[in-house]
Amino acid sequence: MGVKLVRIDDRLIHGQVATTWIKNYEIEQVLIINDKAANDPIQKSVVGLAAPPGVKVMIFGVNQFINILKKSEIKKSTMLLFTTSTDVLKIVESGLVDIKEVNAGGMRFNDTRKRLTKAISVTPEEEQAFVKMMDKGIKINVQMVPKDTSVDFKTLI
């Protein structure tokens, strides 16, 4: 049990996550780690609607999640879902979760981001967070759905 999948997807829970990733990893709970979502009452009220029946969804701010990890361990089969690599790095640097691999599935392009693939665009800070995680031995793969070929993030930068 414990953390089965760490995914970055700025769309949070949507069809691909609900129908493929959760099913493939036999996820019992999805923990969304994002300050903006944690402080948005509307997002908090609807985010669980996209999850399959029986899958619990909870939202935490980054520091809130770190404080929870200090008091208890993750016992259920869990997906940690983030919107940015910088938030993942904060959790990694807390030393409270042993993250060996991160799946990057969606970071949308905008004027402040450099496009790396059709689905992944990064700010300089986000790119640096990915580099720091790789320097710590964490494997970063880019993959929209499990049946797609996984691309090693190292080949993109």
Catalytic residue among 2, 14, 112, 145: 14
Crossing angle for the helix pair 85-94 and 124-135, to the nearest 10 degrees:
40
Distance CA 25, CA 157 (A): 28
Residue with tokens 């060996």: 100
Asked if 30 contacts 57 with a C-beta cutoff of 8 angstroms, the reply is: yes
Residue with tokens 């879902």: 81
Distance CA 90, CA 143 (A): 22
CA distances from 16 to 76, 122, 131 (A): 21, 21, 26
Catalytic annotation present for 14 = yes
Residues marked as catalytic: 14
